[in-house]
Chains A and B, each alone.
Chain A
Amino acid sequence: MEEVKEHKARAKASKKEVVIAIKGLKKSFGKKEVLKDINLEVHTGENVVVLGKSGEGKSVTIECIVGMLIPDGGSLKVFGDEVADMNAEELKKLRMKIGFLFQSGALYDSMTVRENLEFPLTRVLKLKDEREIQERINEVLEGVGLLDAVDKLPSDLSGGMRKRIGLARTLIIKPQIMLYDEPTTGLDPITSREISELILSMQKKYKTTSIIITHDMECARITADRIMIMNDGKYIAEGTFEALQKSKDQIVKEFFKDIS
């Protein structure tokens, strides 16, 4: 807990530049308007948690950030550049600065853990030096506490271990931004807490800026510098965990009602 408080205080203390700037973002799928008017600024080193009910389109926002989805309207700038205007090469360069942790971990199941970790190093960073590759693999595996799983296949790993390796694989390219899509979904409370604390410690170690999509309040409490609450395609509330906990808004209260 001390670590969490110290981290939040540090984040608040410094005025940081805007890394992600979203203004009036809109996205529809067919007739279903998922994002109606999303406005968000994320600063360097900040951990922003987006809370919302399932199916609200929380993940759609981060998929737009990495250019997996093209917004229908509004502006989405990362490092000052409009993502929708980027060509394939610019998008590739942007993606090299962003780590995306998928809900399932998305490990390549035909490859061992080592091969999973080598993949972004050899294909994205084009590293050739075997020693450097090995050092990076050891470093991230040590970070997530799974050094002995290096030669295992994803099918031999538990859900929590898969998430850890997924996190290691995204961190191995040393991204400046981390996007987490429901990192604790499907895990037991103890493993969820471990993953949330790991996210926080990795954020401190690699000094990344993060957006964490979740509906796990414990994860939000541990990791968030700032929380955005999403409802009906818009952010309806913003603030620290403690501030939102005291909110009188009915929808916000619904999220915090089981928190003591």
Chain B
Amino acid sequence: MEAVQEHELTGWRKWFAGIGDQCVFFTSFLRNIFAGDFEWSEFVRQCYEIGYRSMMLVGITSFIMGAVLILQLRPSLVSFGEESMLPTTLAVSLIREIGPVITALICSGKIASSIGAELGSMKVTEQIDAMEVSGASPLQYLVVTRILAVTCMVPLLTIIGDVIGLIGGFIALNITDSISYILYFHKCVAAIDFSDFLPAFVKTIFFGFAIGFVGCYKGYNSNKGTESVGIAANSAVVTASLWVFVIDAIAVQITSILFYK
């Protein structure tokens, strides 16, 4: 039924209607956070589903990313005679940019799509309607818990990914060179400033929120046909990935102004 109304809107009107819908969804989310009776058990379950179950994927990808970065950086730094800068360069690039962005993109693919598909299929099978007509709040149970869980888990996954990425770099470095893990990690830690870690950590919170919000919005507002589940999952991944880059661009500008004048 909603689809009939939606098809009436085209072009800019549809785009503005979409923006309006997202604003309403956002205010409903905020209202439901403070509405009382927070669903702690569902929140913890979502943290487990989203965080723990994504750890392996993030870990493997970060490990490979750390190793590949070392292998790619090495020839350039060797030509400058700056081989000893490899751990420092890897640590800074991984902590500041590559770790958060790669983790967020993996989470966009895995988490936003699964939330979009899950809520989309709940919509198709009338489970969300059933919750609503029973007098329970589907926003509080399904949306608030998922968005907050992703917002909490993406920063944690990024930290874990960064550490595993550094381990990957250490192993790759030891394939061609020989460096003790004490020296390697000492160089990595010494290279990281508060101004490297804090902005990167803060932006992962925004990445997490964007991924959770987009996944929930796309799934919760999908149409009632079965194909809309696929559309919800797909558009959740695309939109969340896009938002990761937009937030990253904004975060870099703010960080530059605040920390690297």
* Chain A interface (Cβ < 8 Å from any Cβ of B): 29-30, 32, 60, 66, 68-69, 92-93, 95-96, 98, 100, 102-104, 106-109, 119-120, 123-124, 126, 169-170, 173
Contacts and interface: CB of A to CB of B under 8 A. Distances in A.
Contact of B134 (A60, A104, A173): A173
Interface of B: 1, 4-5, 7-8, 37, 122, 125-127, 129-137, 141
21 contacts: A29-B4, A29-B5, A30-B8, A60-B1, A69-B1, A95-B134, A98-B133, A100-B133, A102-B126, A104-B125, A104-B126, A106-B125, A106-B130, A108-B122, A109-B125, A119-B131, A120-B136, A123-B137, A123-B141, A124-B135, A173-B134
Contact of B126 (A30, A32, A93, A106): A106
Residue among A93, A106, A107, A169 having the largest count of chain B Cβ atoms under 10 Å: A106
Contacts of A32: 4
Residue among B4, B8, B125 having the largest count of chain A Cβ atoms under 10 Å: B125
A109 B7 contact: no
B136 A123 contact: yes
B136 A124 contact: yes
Contacts of B130: 100, 102, 106, 108
Contact of B133 (A66, A93, A107): A66
B42 to A, nearest CB: 10
A173 B136 CA distance: 12
Contact of A106 (B4, B5, B7, B127): B127
B137 to A, nearest CB: 8
A104 to B, nearest CB: 6
A41 to B, nearest CB: 22
Contacts of B136: 119-120, 123-124
Contacts of A119: 131, 134, 136
A98 B126 CA distance: 17
Contact of B129 (A29, A106, A124): A106
Give the 4 A-B CB pairs with smallest separation, nearest first.
A106-B130, A95-B135, A29-B4, A123-B136
Contacts of B134: 95, 100, 119-120, 123-124, 169-170, 173
A60 B135 CA distance: 19
A29 B133 contact: no
A29 B4 CA distance: 6
Contact of A68 (B37, B132, B135): B132
Contacts of A106: 125-127, 129-130
Contacts of B131: 108, 119
Nearest to A108: B127
A69 B2 CA distance: 10
A32 B7 CA distance: 13
Nearest to A32: B4
Contact of B4 (A30, A169, A173): A30
B100 to A, nearest CB: 30
B229 to A, nearest CB: 13
Residue among B1, B8, B131 having the largest count of chain A Cβ atoms under 10 Å: B1
B175 to A, nearest CB: 45
A95 B133 contact: yes
